[in-house]
Structure formats: structure tokens, C-alpha cells
Structure 1
Amino acid sequence: MSTITANYAHEVSTVAISNRQKVINILKWTYGLVPIAAGADKFTHILTNWDQYLAPVVTRSIPVQPHTFMSIVGIIEIVAGIILLTRPKLGSIIVGCWLCGIAINLILTGQFFDIAVRDIVMAIGAFCLHLLLRNENERIS
């Protein structure tokens, strides 16, 4: 009678790396494309009227009209999304910090707390992407 042995530890490790890579790719594309789409929509207002989300304290302290300011915000969001897609480790920090800033602005409005919470959760996801990439030596596809 003979005994057959197999190295299952190697097989599990390969699956874990594959799943990790899938998660990284999903987060990368999500956090790259959503800011680009939201930034582009600052010019078209197809999704919503973005100007309504600007806190009055911010509106009073900026030297331009709120719509002009939101257009600048749109450009910044598009650039942040592009950075995330091309340099995900850096871009994930930028997008995460940007989302925290948006959440603070929303809290300052005195309303939109539900959207602020959503943006904080999204920021946590962006920071998690950064943590996944910290030890990543291979190029993300």
C-alpha cells in the first residue's frame, strides 16, 4: 500500500494571493473611476446639483462663485482619479484624504450627514487599498 501526499499549503497560498489581487484591482478601478465620473459631473450636473453640497461657511470664505469653485473641485477629482489609476499607492491616500475633506464640508452644512458617513466609509476603503498596496512589489494591472 502506498501513501499519496500533496502540498496543500502552496495551493491555498496561491488562491489567497489571487483573491488579494482581485480585491486590489476592484478597489483600484472603483476609487479611480468614481472620482473621475463625479468630477466630470461637476460640469454637467447629470447626477445632481453639486453646488447644493457646499457648506455656507465655505461659500463665504472662497474668493469665487460656488459654481466656479465646484468646477475647480471637479478638476481636482478627475486628477485624483487619474493619479489613483496610474499610481495607486499614492492615489489611494489622495482620494482617501479628499473624501475626508468632502465629509467635513458636508458636516459643516448642517445636513447631508448620511452622505458624509458614506464618504467616510469610502475613505476607509481607499485607505484599505493603500494598506493592501504597501507590500505590493508587482505592477497592478
Structure 2
Amino acid sequence: MSEALAVAKRFTDTYSAAVTGRDKTAIMSLYAPDVRVFDLWSTWSHEGADTWGDSIGEWFDSIESGTHSATFTDLRAYGDHDVIVAESFVRYSWHSPEGELEWMDNRLTWALVQHKGEWVIAHEHTSAPVNAETGLVVTKREVDAHHPNS
């Protein structure tokens, strides 16, 4: 495993555990103070860790009881000792109040940089494709057996 992929894997593991535990402090420990986040939801961009932390707090506050997870697949990472770009698909899943399993898929890219000797996320970008016919965001990823990265 390359160093870049090992760093990215540590980030996805920490992020996943923080989502499961609804641990805002653990998630925010991954981000640079001046992070810029292009999130899939509502706000055009979040400027700085305080603003992004507020959004994370609102997300965790909105979560009803039950099991929640963030599962990363097809993680890739490129870079060296200064900058790493990590990309992955991430599935956010939870059980609805009726007990049904619900989920939403995103595409995720992180730009990781060194800050005071530690890797941090300097930029995060999440997205999902838009259905050309309906104009709606597609949040359920169908995996084609002939093209596993679809």
C-alpha cells in the first residue's frame, strides 16, 4: 500500500467511526482550520472549520436514534509528502424510524496537506450525478458488474 493510500485509509477509518459515534470532535480533527468544503447539500461552500463544524453539528443533531454509518469504497489516493488527493465513493446509511434501511451515495474528493506536521483536509468536495432527463440528483449508485467503478 502506498503512503498516500495509507494516509487516506486512516482518514476514512476515522471519519467512519466518527459518523457511527456521532462524534463531531473526531470528525473535525481531520480538517484544516481554513478548510473549504463544497458540500452536496444546500450551501454553495463552507469557508473554515468553524462554519463546517456548525454544519456537521446540525447533521448529527438531525440524526434520529439508530445505526448510522459511512462506508467508503474504491478508495484511491495520489500524492507525496506535501499533498495527497484522495477520492472515493461513500455510502451514508441509517435505519428509518420505521426500521427500513435507507442510504445515500456520494462521490468524495479530499485534498490533504501537511499542517503543523499533521495531515489535514484542506478541501473537501462531495457530489452526485444529475439525471439528464429529470434534472434530479441521483443519490443511489448502481454498480454495473462489467464496470465496478460505475
Question: What TM-score, normalized by structure 2, do the two folds share?
Answer: 0.29
Question: What TM-score, normalized by structure 1, do the two folds share?
Answer: 0.30
**Bigger helix share:** 1
**Bigger strand share:** 2
RCO (CA 8 Å, sep 6+): is it higher in 1 or 2? Answer: 1
Select the structure of larger CA radius of gyration.
1
